[in-house]
Amino acid sequence: MFERVLVAEDQQSMNFWMLQTLKELNIKDAYYACYCDDALTRIKNSLKDGAPFDLLITDLSFVDDGRTQSINNGADLIKAVRQYQPAIKVLVFSSEPNPRVVNALFDKLAIDGYVHKGRTDTIDLKAALEVIYKGKKFVPEAFRVSIRQKNAFKFSNYDVAIIEQIAGGANQNEIPDYLKQQNMKPTSLSSIEKRLAQIKEELGFKKNEQLIAYCKDLKII
Amino acid sequence: MFERVLVAEDQQSMNFWMLQTLKELNIKDAYYACYCDDALTRIKNSLKDGAPFDLLITDLSFVDDGRTQSINNGADLIKAVRQYQPAIKVLVFSSEPNPRVVNALFDKLAIDGYVHKGRTDTIDLKAALEVIYKGKKFVPEAFRVSIRQKNAFKFSNYDVAIIEQIAGGANQNEIPDYLKQQNMKPTSLSSIEKRLAQIKEELGFKKNEQLIAYCKDLKII
DNA sequence: AATTCACTTACGGCTTCCCGTAAAATATGT
DNA sequence: ACATATTTTACGGGAAGCCGTAAGTGAATT
């Protein structure tokens, strides 16, 4: 089983429970950090000391309590940690309910497992640790189903860029210039109009406002 | 100290930790429910058995896992419980970060305390239990500040109704009829336009889409 | 090199929205 | 009851967005 584990999580209660659970699994070297920056520092130090962690368990969202941090979320923490220790196993433990977000973690950050804070998380966590230790990925079955269900429409980076601009208060006729700056391909006002119309068509929406609400709900923007 | 406590929370890990913490405080009769419906049933039964709970600790959001429930969130649970046992003390323990939502709980549901799942929640919880047991309210100081900061603009029910319609895809010229149905006062298209313009003006926004994004972020809609 | 096909752009009309002004209605004070 | 404020409504001109058509561009195929 894993020997040295670092937990990055801003809920103190959860940290206490997590450390206790890890101890029950005979993982003696387990530590926690309440801030992403602290977690990254610990990782760096562990490498310097020649006693690297072999698993990082991290939450996704960290509440901003005023202390300025250079990293403020789990995804960025994972990216940063991978720069120093690319081979470290990563388990995300979060209450993020959006399959799209979780899917992106597996695709883009190559995380090794995801456990949803929920009615079975104590069991799931233990199962995840075993599965990951064996070098496999841990994706809860229940989740995989809903990934398929909800991924009716795929937003491209291009789509997201446009929608973010609109949600930020831009006029449509300001967007072509913005897209050129970003080196994104169809830049004409006409193309933007067409793409927007198509997205709304496919989702069954009539108005931009509806689309913004939808994207906010699904955390696409 | 409290003698019988019921915890309504859908995170199993949190329930385990909570029961353990309560035991450490010499509260022997502590139980948990993973579903709101189960929690309400327990409350009812406890009254029938002549051994009522004297404290309810509840989360706000409960993940829908497919099991159909008549109550699916903490606020509704509190309302329902109060119908059977109006005097029960209620402590909300949640990661809800929006002061507006928390404020509404104190105002409308007369909850006795709020503890934010965060970096100091183990301390806060113990403090809250003591304060509430003495009959006082527990509002974290740090939170009260941000309530003031963020409540720059007060959305009325009227405002929310309009914004919800727009976010739902309604044309502005459909809204007058809707407002008449809802018996809300200024119903003319002109008034709606003016109100929207005023809201955006006060918040420094140019477009509806921006407003929708803002309201979604702050969970106003 | 010519043809085809997919994609992008330009443009015009039509609708919706935005915003100012003024009239009507309602509320308030004397 | 009357006069004065305030709010609500009506309307109109201009701006922004929507949508269809047609022209332009460029890569792939023959």
Phi, psi of B201 (to 5 degrees): -55, -50
pLDDT tens, B99-120?
777 888 888 899 999 999 999 9
Which nucleotides of chain D have an atom under 7 angstroms from any protein CB? 7-11, 16-21
Of B12, B13, B169, the CB nearest to A207: B169
Could you tell me if B94 and B60 are in contact, meaning their C-beta atoms sit under 8 angstroms apart?
A: yes
Quick: pLDDT tens for A113-161.
999 999 999 999 999 999 999 999 998 766 655 444 444 677 888 998 9
* Alpha-carbon distance B70 to nearest alpha carbon in chain A (angstroms): 18
Chain B contact for A119 (CB, 8 A cutoff): yes
In the prediction, which pLDDT does A152 show? Answer: 60
Give the amino acid at A95: S
Burial (Cβ within 10 Å: 0-12, 13-18, ≥19) of residue A146? middle
- Which of A15-24, A101-110, A184-193, B56-65 is predicted least confidently? A101-110
Query: pLDDT confidence of B221, banded at 50, 70, 90?
Result: confident
pLDDT at A143: 60
Chain A residues whose CB is inside 8 A of the B220 CB are: none
> B37 in contact with A at a CB cutoff of 8 Å?
no
Three-state secondary-structure class, residue A108: helix
Model pLDDT, residue A33 = 96
Question: Straight-line distance from CA B197 to C1' C30, in Å?
Answer: 36
Query: B8 in helix, strand or coil?
Result: strand
Judge if the beta carbon of A191 is closer than 7 A to nucleic acid strand C. yes
CA distance A28 to chain B (A): 19
**Is it the case that residue A97 has pLDDT exceeding 80?**
no
A65 DSSP assignment: -
Region A30-55: mean pLDDT is 95
Task: Quick: pLDDT tens for B76-91.
Answer: 999 999 999 999 999 9
Q: Give the burial class of A163: count Cβ atoms within 10 A of its Cβ; 0-12 exposed, 13-18 middle, 19 or more buried.
A: buried
CA of B191 to C1' of D6 (A): 14
Could you give the CA distance from residue B25 to residue B21 in angstroms, rounded to a whole number? 7
Q: Quote the CA–CA distance of B22 and B140 in Å, as a whole number.
A: 20
Name the pTM for this structure. 0.74
Helix (H, G, I), strand (E, B) or coil at A139: coil
Mean pLDDT score across all residues of chain B = 89
User: How far apart are the two ends of chain A, measured CA to CA in Å?
Assistant: 39
Q: Which bases of strand C sit closer than 7 A to a protein CB?
A: 7-11, 16-21
Label residue A96 by pLDDT band (50, 70, 90).
confident
What band does B144 get if pLDDT is binned at 50, 70 and 90?
low
Q: Looking at CA atoms only, how far is residue A128 from chain B in angstroms?
A: 15
Kindly tell me if the per-residue pLDDT of B181 is higher than 70. Answer: yes
Element (H, E) at B94: strand B89-94
Residue A188 Cβ under 7 A from any strand C atom: yes
Which residues of chain B are within 8 Å of residue A221 when distances are taken between CB atoms? 213
Residues in chain B: 221
Closest CB from A13, A65, A119 relative to B10:
A119
